[in-house]
A and B are shown apart, each in its own frame.
Chain A
Amino acid sequence: MHFSSLIIVVLSFLLITTSGLQAKEPYKIGAILSITGAASFLGEPEKNTLIMLKDQINKAGGINGTPVEVVIEDSKSDETQAVLAAKKLIEKDKVIAIIGPSTTGESMAVIPIVTAAQLPLISCAAGAGITQPVSERYWIFKSPQYDTSAVEAIYTYLKKNGMTKVGIITISTGFGDSGRKALIEMTGKYGITIVADERYGPKDSDMTTQLTKIKNAGAQAVINWSVGPGQVIVTKNWHSLKMGIPLLQSHGWGSKKNIELAGKAAEGVIAPLSRLVVWDKLSEKHPQKSLLKRYSSDYEARFKSEPGTFGGHAYDAFMMITEAIKKVGPDKQKVRDYIENNIKNWPGTGGIFNMSPSDHCGLDKDAFEMVVVKNGDWEILK
Chain B
Amino acid sequence: MSVFLQFLFSGLTIGAVYAMVGLGFNIIYNATSIINLAQGEFVVIGGLLMWLFSESMKLPFLISALLAILFTGLIGLLMERLTIRPVKKKDLLLMIMITIAVSIVLRGLLMFKFGKDPYTYNPFTEGDPINIYGAYIQQQTLWVIGITSLCIILMYLFFNKTMLGKAMKACAVDPTAARITGINVERMVMISFVMSAMMGAVAGIAVTPITLMEYDRGPMLAVKGFCAAIMGGLGRGRGSVIGGFIIGILESLTAGYIHSGAKDAVALIIMLIILFFRPAGIFGSKTIIDLRRF
Q: Which residues of A contact B (CB under 8 A)?
A: 40-41, 44, 169, 172, 198-201, 203-210, 212-213, 216, 228-229, 232-233, 240-242, 257, 261, 263
Contacts and interface: CB of A to CB of B under 8 A. Distances in A.
B13 interface: yes
A229 B217 CA distance: 10
Contacts of B122: 263
Contacts of A172: 261
Interface centre among A207, A210, A212, A240 (most CB of B within 10 A): A212
B92 interface: no
B85 to A, nearest CB: 31
B147 to A, nearest CB: 16
A208 B211 contact: no
A203 B217 contact: yes
A212 B134 CA distance: 11
Given A203-B217, A207-B10, A240-B129, 18 more contacts: A44-B116, A198-B259, A200-B260, A201-B264, A203-B220, A203-B221, A205-B17, A206-B10, A206-B14, A206-B210, A209-B6, A212-B7, A228-B118, A229-B118, A232-B212, A233-B211, A241-B129, A241-B136
B256 A261 contact: no
A26 B264 CA distance: 52
B9 interface: yes
A169 B138 CA distance: 21
Given A206-B13, A240-B128, A240-B138, A212 B256 contact: yes
Nearest to A198: B260
A240 B136 contact: yes
Nearest to B12: A206
List 7 A-B pairs, minimum CB-CB distance, nearest first: A205-B211, A208-B10, A203-B220, A240-B129, A229-B212, A199-B261, A229-B118
Interface of B: 3, 6-7, 9-11, 13-14, 17, 116-120, 122, 128-129, 136, 138, 207, 210-212, 214, 217, 220-221, 252, 255-256, 259-261, 264
Interface centre among B122, B136, B221, B255 (most CB of A within 10 A): B255
A357 B221 CA distance: 48
Contacts of B211: 205-206, 229, 233
Contact of A216 (B3, B118, B264): B3
Contacts of B207: 205
Given A199-B261, A240-B129, A240-B138, A209 B255 contact: yes
Contacts, number: 81
A241 B212 CA distance: 18
A229 B214 contact: yes
Nearest to A36: B111
Contacts of B13: 205-206, 208
14 contacts: A41-B117, A203-B220, A205-B14, A208-B6, A209-B7, A209-B256, A212-B7, A212-B10, A228-B118, A228-B214, A232-B118, A232-B212, A241-B136, A261-B118
Q: Is the interface of B mostly helix, strand, loop or mixed?
A: helix
Interface centre among B11, B211, B252, B260 (most CB of A within 10 A): B260
Interface centre among B122, B211, B212 (most CB of A within 10 A): B212
A214 to B, nearest CB: 10
Nearest to B141: A206
Nearest to A202: B220
A209 to B, nearest CB: 4
A23 B146 CA distance: 68
Nearest to B108: A36
B3 A199 contact: no
Nearest to B129: A240
A235 to B, nearest CB: 11
Contacts of A233: 211-212
A209 B260 CA distance: 9
A209 B6 CA distance: 7
B90 to A, nearest CB: 34
A90 to B, nearest CB: 29
B95 to A, nearest CB: 26
Nearest to B13: A206
A237 B120 CA distance: 15
Nearest to A201: B264
Contacts of B264: 201
B260 A210 contact: yes
B149 to A, nearest CB: 19
A141 B72 CA distance: 48
A161 to B, nearest CB: 26
Contacts of A228: 118, 214
Contacts of B252: 206, 209
B255 A210 contact: yes
A233 B217 CA distance: 14
A227 to B, nearest CB: 11
A41 B116 CA distance: 7
B231 to A, nearest CB: 18
A203 B7 CA distance: 19
B135 to A, nearest CB: 8
Contacts of A199: 259-261
A44 B111 CA distance: 12
Contacts of A40: 116
Contacts of A216: 3
Nearest to B218: A203
A208 B212 contact: no
Contacts of A201: 264
Contacts of A261: 118-120, 212
